Structure 1
Amino acid sequence: MNVLQALFFPPEQPGGVSSMIPFMKERFVRNSWGMELFYLPRRLRGKGNEPVEFATFDWKAYRGHPVVDKYIQTYKDYVWWTMLRIRQRYDLIHAHHPIAALAMRQLFPETPVLLTIHSSYERELVLNGHIEADGPEHRFLTSLYHELEVKLEQILTVSESFKSYLSHYVQEPDKIRVVPNGFDERRFRPMPHENEVPQLITVCRLVPAKGLDILLAACSELKKRGHSFVLHIIGDGPYRPELERMAVDLDVYEETIFYGYMLHPEQFMPFFDIFVLPSRAEAFGSVFAEAALCRLALVGTNVGGIAEQIEHGRNGFLVPPEDAEALAEALAKLMEEPDLRSRMAGLAEKKAKSNYSLQRVIRQLAKVYEEYRRPEARG
Structure 2
Amino acid sequence: MKLLQALFFPPEQPGGVSSMIPYMQERFNPPHWEMELFSIPRRIRSKGKDPVEFHTFDWTVYEESPIVQKYIQTYRDYLWWTKLRIQKRYDLIHAHHPIAGLAMKQVFPDTPVIQTVHSSYERELLLNGKIEEGGLEHQFLVSIYKELEHRTDRMLTVSRSFLDYMAPYVNRPEDVGIISNGFDERRFKPVSHENEVAQLVTVCRLVPAKGLDILLRACAELKRKGHPYVLHIIGDGPIRPELEAMAQELGIYNETIFYGYTLHPEEFMPFFDIFVLPSRAEAFGSVFAEAALCCLALVGTHVGGIAEQIENGVGGLLVPPEDPQALADALEKVIVDPSYRYALARMGWDKAKSQYSIARSVHELKKLYLQYSS
TM over 0.5: yes
Unpaired stretches in structure 2, ≥5 consecutive residues: none
Residue 31 to residue 260, structure 1, CA distance change in 2 (3 Å): farther
Aligned to 2:250: 250
Q: Deviations over 1:182-227 (max 9, x none)?
A: 0001101111111000000000000000000000000000000001
What is the 5 A alignment of 1:1-379? 1-29=1-29, 32-374=32-374
Which has the larger displacement, 331-340 or 26-35? 26-35
**Quick one: distance in 2 between partners of 1:103 and 1:37?**
15
Structure 1 unmatched ranges of 5 or more: 375-379
- State the 1:31 CA deviation: 7.4
Runs of 4+ in 1 over 3 A off after TM superposition: none
Q: Distance in 2 between matches of 1:306 and 1:187?
A: 21
2:341 is paired with a residue of what secondary structure? helix
Q: Which amino acid aligns with 2:92?
A: L
Amino acid at match of 2:21: I
Q: Secondary structure at the match of 2:233?
A: strand
Q: Deviations over 1:332-376 (max 9, x none)?
A: 0000110000000000000000000000000000011001111xx
Amino acid at match of 2:238: P
Deviations 1:298-334 (A, max 9, x none): 0000000000000101111000000000000000000
Give, as a single letter, the amino acid of the residue that structure 2 aligns with 1:221: E
Q: Which residue of 2 aligns with 1:377?
A: none
* CA displacement 1:142-196 (0-9 Å, x = unmatched): 0010001111110100000000001010010000000000000110111111100
Measured in 2, the distance between the counterparts of 1:93 and 1:30 equals: 17
Q: Is contact 1:114–1:152 with CA below 8 Å preserved after alignment?
A: yes
Cα distance in 2 for residues equivalent to 1:301 and 1:92: 37
Give the residue type in structure 1 aligned to 2:269: M
Q: Which letter maps to 1:105?
A: K
Q: Write the distance in 2 (CA, Å) between the matches of 1:191 and 1:268.
A: 9
CA distance in 2, matches of 1:31, 1:106: 29
Taking the aligned partners of 1:67 and 1:11, their CA distance within structure 2 comes to 25
Structure 1 residues 29 and 273, CA gap change in structure 2 (3 angstroms): same
| 8 Å Cα contact 1:19-1:183 kept in structure 2 | no
Following the alignment from structure 2 to structure 1, what is the Cα–Cα distance between the partners of residues 267 and 66?
38
The one-letter code of the counterpart of 2:181 is N
Q: Which moved more, 1:29-38 or 1:167-176?
A: 29-38
3-state SS in 1 of match to 2:168: coil
Distance in 1 (alpha carbons) for counterparts of 2:18 and 2:285: 13
Q: Please say which of residues 15-24 and 131-140 is displaced more in the overlay.
A: 15-24
Please give the secondary structure, in 2, of the residue aligned with 1:167.
helix
Q: Which residue type is aligned with residue 325 of structure 1?
A: Q
Structure 1 residue 30 displacement after superposition: 6.0
Cα deviation, residue 26, structure 1:
1.7
| CA–CA distance in structure 2, aligned partners of residues 369 and 263 of structure 1 | 31
Q: RMSD of the alignment, in Å?
A: 0.7
Distance 2:71 2:130 in 1: 14
Cα offset for 1:64? 1.8
Give how far 1:67 is off. Answer: 0.8
Distance in structure 1 (CA, Å) of the matches to 2:286 and 2:205: 13
Q: TM-score scaled to structure 1, two decimals?
A: 0.98
SS at match of 2:99: helix
Amino acid at match of 1:257: I
> What is the alpha-carbon distance in structure 1 between the residues aligned to residue 31 and residue 222 of structure 2?
50
Closer/same/farther in 2, CA of residues 30 and 239 from structure 1, 3 Å limit: farther
User: In the aligned structure 1, how far is the partner of 2:288 from the partner of 2:348?
Assistant: 9
Q: Shift of the alpha carbon at 1:32?
A: 4.0
> d(CA) in 2 for partners of 1:216 and 1:107?
47
2:215 alignment partner, SS class: helix
Letter in 2 for 1:143: S
